[in-house]
Amino acid sequence: MRPPLLNPLFAPLTSLPGVGPKFARLYARLLGRPVPYLADLLFHLPSGTIDRRARPKLSQVRDGQLVTVAVTVDEHHPAPRHRPRAPYRVITSDETGFTLTLAYFNAREDYLRRLLPPGSRRYVSGVAQFYDGMLQMVHPDRIVDEKGFADLPLVEPVYPLTEGLTLGHVRRLMKEALARLPTLPEWQDAAWLARERLPSFGEALHRLHRPSAPNQVAPDSPAWRRLAYDELLAGQLALALLRARMRRRAGRGSSGSGELRARVLKALPYALTPSQQKALTEIVADLARPQQMLRLLQGDVGSGKTVVALLAAATVIEAGRQAAFMAPTEILARQHWTTVAPLAEAAGIRVALLTGRERGAERRAVLDRLARGEIDLLLGTHVLFQEGVVFRDLGLAIVDEQHRFGVHQRLALAQKGAAADMLVLTATPIPRTLVLTYFGDMDISELREKPRGRRPVDTRAVSLARLSEVEDAIGRALEAGERAYWVCPLVEDSEKTDLAAAAARFAKLRERFGDRVDLVHGRMKGAEKDAAMARFASGRTRLLVATTVIEVGIDVPDATVMVIEHAERFGLAQLHQLRGRVGRGGGASTCLLLYKAPLGETARARLAVLRETEDGFRIAEEDLRLRGEGDVLGTRQSGDPAFRIVRLESHGRYVSAAREDAALILKRDPMLAGPRGQALRLLLYLFGKDEAIGLIRAG
């Protein structure tokens, strides 16, 4: 049950005056919530301000200046009847003897005479400009009398908007919401607030939405930092509660002689790298303990995570239990199947595949064998953890490329087995700040080296103006028997334009190179995608035009050329992932980054980093610096922003502090029962982490 004290903040926006069904839909779109609450509106922070504090005399006004001036209304000059498009002009002046003309187009005379009666004194705010040597203001932002001026905010917040909403409407609604903000008990440590000079929660919201100076709405302002730390602490506390729950739940140690692992290793065509060995040692030690494992294995493109995951699975299988290996897409699940199945077969591990494509009798057969314990390792997509998929004894759940991992999903995963251990893989090396933010409840293993024999990829940036030269070079590579990818970008977050770009490029290249060219994109049916990939892998086609669907998990060692069109539209980590599709065999490989000139500063920096290094961990840090956390983890594109308030480029230094604070809180008050603990429960509700409170109740 949500504490009653928070009820005003969790009232729907429709409870505010002036918000009917039409505006409710607009605010749902703006705030990214199907039914937005007052709290959602209050967490919609300004992107800037309008500063009306400049109050010069008319003789001191500069051209193009935003000013608020006190004037006397002298006379009205309606537009001449024979020139209806001419402006309606109101002449005003001040004690300096200078005049200011207020110009209105398509104006109603009766309205303007009521607003600006001749002889009255008015305060006028807007941008003043000189026109034919005369000072004028076209459609002033604000006109108020003496009483109205007392209430006029001289610094007004500017908010991100959506079509159909005006700044005035958002500001009026924000004022109503602030008036209903209850006084909440302080959940932050008093000494910490004093040291960082941070205001209370309520004061922070008032400062941000009713600023008295423009710098009060900057991300590094005390008010914004206060709310950012609140959000970080809520996240770290939820992760710490999950960790404590997983630790409290009795695990079941899985260990054996290591014979099954040895059989997998024997089937491998190469020896493990030192970091693979180290990661495996850490995982095997975790699996043997009587607590549940929760470990993140992160490694660069081609660093061998899948093999480490298989060896981890072999450990629990030898102990008589089962393992599940979940990938986010069908292409990736089938790629893992291609890698894992021969090694598993050689080691005597019974393995099966389950995706959305397996239906009817085929699906029932897999599920029956799984429930009877006749499948040791099940690979597949998210369907593995749906109802109806029953394991005889799940010992290890392996999840690949799952960046955003909510408490519910982790618990659902763990509940498929009696105290199942969990291993999360990511092929996108994640900066330390983000690891602590998103995976703060996990132990971390890193794979730093690439497998032996991998050669560096020759990376070059080429202007799109030289497209015909690139096509010629591709032609020479195809004649020499090489295989190449040509990736087209996601354009304006639209699948349609993404597909259109790839389809258009495919048609053009097909015209030139014939049936050696193939196409793969996200809207194709699974079987069509597999067939296209199989044709390319076997060499029947030699140039594969694709969208970013091939970003992860595609392994064709003979592919040696990667062309990325409009490389300036991709993030660094994504470019690095795509480049990692080549350089997997023994041959020399090339990556051509086609860009549209002129390049912006960020795009130029991005391409320069890519040409300098193949170290995914360094690239990830640079990507965070250049783009921000949502883009690095791919959450911007999914429409699920990483944070509402936190900007890691400004607030990243608080992550470690929040993590340490959360650990200390739970050490002192594991049930959040004391005065600060009760206040912290309010914090968890406010930032949507209330599912973590259920973990306390569940013990």
Read off the pLDDT of residues 5-33 as tens digits, 9 standing for 90 and up.
999 999 999 999 989 999 999 999 999 89
How far apart (Å, rounded) are the C-alpha atoms in residues 686 and 425?
30
* Higher pLDDT pick, 30 / 383: 30
In 10 A of CB 493, how many CB atoms? 11
Confidence of residue 292 (pLDDT cuts 50, 70, 90): confident
Residue 522 pLDDT greater than 90, yes or no: no
Confidence of residue 322 (pLDDT cuts 50, 70, 90): very high
Question: Cα 131 from chain centroid?
Answer: 47
Q: 231: closest CA among 674, 641, 666? A: 641
In 10 A of CB 467, how many CB atoms? 14
How far apart (Å, rounded) are the C-alpha atoms in residues 591 and 474?
11
How far apart (Å, rounded) are the C-alpha atoms in residues 64 and 129?
5
HEC string for 392-418: CCEEEEEEECCCCCCHHHHHHHHCCCC
Structural domain boundaries in the chain: 4-50+158-217, 53-152, 259-447, 457-613
Q: Note if the bond before 598 is cis, omega within 30 degrees.
A: yes
Q: 134-168: b or e for each residue (b if 16 or more CB lie within 10 Å)?
A: ebbbeebbbbbeeeebeeeebbbbebeeeeebeee
How far apart (Å, rounded) are the C-alpha atoms in residues 495 and 102?
47
In sequence order, the 6+-apart residues with CB closer than 8 A to the CB of 163 are: none
Residue 256 pLDDT greater than 90, yes or no: no
Confidence of residue 251 (pLDDT cuts 50, 70, 90): low
Per-residue pLDDT at 147: 93
How far apart (Å, rounded) are the C-alpha atoms in residues 529 and 549?
10
> Per CATH, which fold does 457-613 belong to?
Rossmann fold (3.40.50)
State mean pLDDT over 674-689. 95
Q: Is 295 helix (H, G, I), strand (E, B) or coil?
A: strand
Q: Taking a C-beta distance cutoff of 8 angstroms, is the pair 366, 375 a contact?
A: yes
Report field, pTM of the whole predicted structure over 0.75: no
DSSP structural state of residue 383: G
Residues listed for the chain? 699
* Higher pLDDT pick, 408 / 472: 472
Percent of the chain with pLDDT over 90: 60
Q: Taking a C-beta distance cutoff of 8 angstroms, is the pair 308, 298 a contact?
A: no
Tell me the pLDDT tens digit for each residue of 117-147: 999 999 999 999 999 899 999 999 999 999 9
Per-residue pLDDT at 448: 84
State mean pLDDT over 60-67. 95
Least confident span in 207-221, 315-329, 460-474, 605-619: 605-619
Per-residue pLDDT at 641: 46
Does domain 53-152 sit in CATH 2.40.50.140? yes
CA count, 13 A, side-chain hemisphere, 437: 26
Q: 522: closest CA among 501, 504, 542, 546? A: 546
Using alpha carbons only, give the angle 635, 426, 613 rounded to the nearest 5 degrees. 90
Per-residue pLDDT at 462: 94
* Higher pLDDT pick, 458 / 442: 458
Residue 63 pLDDT greater than 90, yes or no: yes
Q: Is 683 helix (H, G, I), strand (E, B) or coil?
A: helix
How far apart (Å, rounded) are the C-alpha atoms in residues 500 and 494?
10
Tell me the pLDDT tens digit for each residue of 212-244: 999 999 999 999 999 999 999 998 998 888 777
Residue 638 pLDDT greater than 50, yes or no: no
Residue 664 pLDDT greater than 50, yes or no: yes
* Higher pLDDT pick, 487 / 448: 487
Matching CATH topology for 53-152 and 457-613?
A: no
Confidence of residue 496 (pLDDT cuts 50, 70, 90): very low
> Per CATH, which fold does 259-447 belong to?
Rossmann fold (3.40.50)
Q: Is 365 helix (H, G, I), strand (E, B) or coil?
A: helix
How far apart (Å, rounded) are the C-alpha atoms in residues 278 and 287?
14
